[in-house]
Amino acid sequence: QVQLVESGGGLVQPGESLTLTCVASGTNFIANTLGWWRQTPGQQRELVARLTQGGAVEYGAFVKDRFTISNGDAKNAVTLQMNSLTSEDTAKYYCAFQGVISGYGFQELWGPGTQVTVDS
């Protein structure tokens, strides 16, 4: 049993920055991958950035060096620094977990989502 706690969403103007944090909490689990996907109404979720415990990172093509994903202060946490935001970045952002949970085996989980709105 793992909970994904998301924070950092909000309203910003174009060109500004925002930081999202996701913390996976629970007992007896190993998070192999933590990352962020985003979704706008009527669209599929798309990868923003993800980080594995082995250190591999992957970004969505739209990122264009604007975003950086890194380990958070907590062991099972990830921070996404988003810079140079535009209105096209407006979406609901979801933290995603991939790992092993004791008693359940391999699991993929989604957080509840946090809204990011970029509007002038």
Residue with tokens 């923003």: 48
3-state secondary structure the chain: CEEEEEECCEEECCCCCEEEEEEEEECCEEEEEEEEEEECCCCCCEEEEEEECCCCEEECCCCCCCEEEEECCCCCEEEEEECCCCHHHCEEEEEEEEEEECCCEEEEEECCCEEEEECC
Residue pLDDT, tens place only, 79-98? 999 999 999 999 999 999 99
For residue 1, pLDDT beyond 90: no
Residue pLDDT, tens place only, 53-71? 888 999 999 998 999 999 9
